[in-house]
Amino acid sequence: MILSGKSGKTVLSGLAGGLALLGAATVQAQEISRGAVIASTCYTCHGTYGVSPGSIPPIDDISAERMISTLQGYRSGQRASTVMGRHASGYTDEEIREVAQYFGNLQKRGK
């Protein structure tokens, strides 16, 4: 369909604006890493950004290397737990690395 005249310019202008918004939404969505998504599941118990508000241990100050080792220990059953073994068993090595790197990067940014 070829649009001409004033109404054609309006439609094309609206289409261009809509595509620009779609592009901005796509860029914003790409900025959320898989590590950030996985980390958000930790917040319920360990507090936002891993800063625990209660008796559950904080995880905001654990190095990425230690977090990887700890989560892999929970997953394998070598580390005793009540809840964490069930959580860690659902993650691959890659996902564990990604969440550990996410928390490690928060430390570097001072969160």
Superfamily of domain 33-109: Cytochrome c-like domain (1.10.760.10)
pLDDT at position 18: 53
54/42 Cα distance (integer angstroms):
14
pLDDT at position 38: 94
pLDDT in tens, 51-92: 998 899 999 999 999 999 999 999 999 999 999 999 999 999
Query: Residues near 2 by Cβ (< 8 Å), separated by ≥ 6?
Result: 8
Q: Do 87 and 74 contact (CB within 8 A), yes or no?
A: yes
pTM equals 0.69
Q: Do 96 and 88 contact (CB within 8 A), yes or no?
A: yes
pLDDT at position 28: 55
pLDDT in tens, 12-44: 455 555 555 555 555 555 578 999 999 999 999
pLDDT at position 17: 55
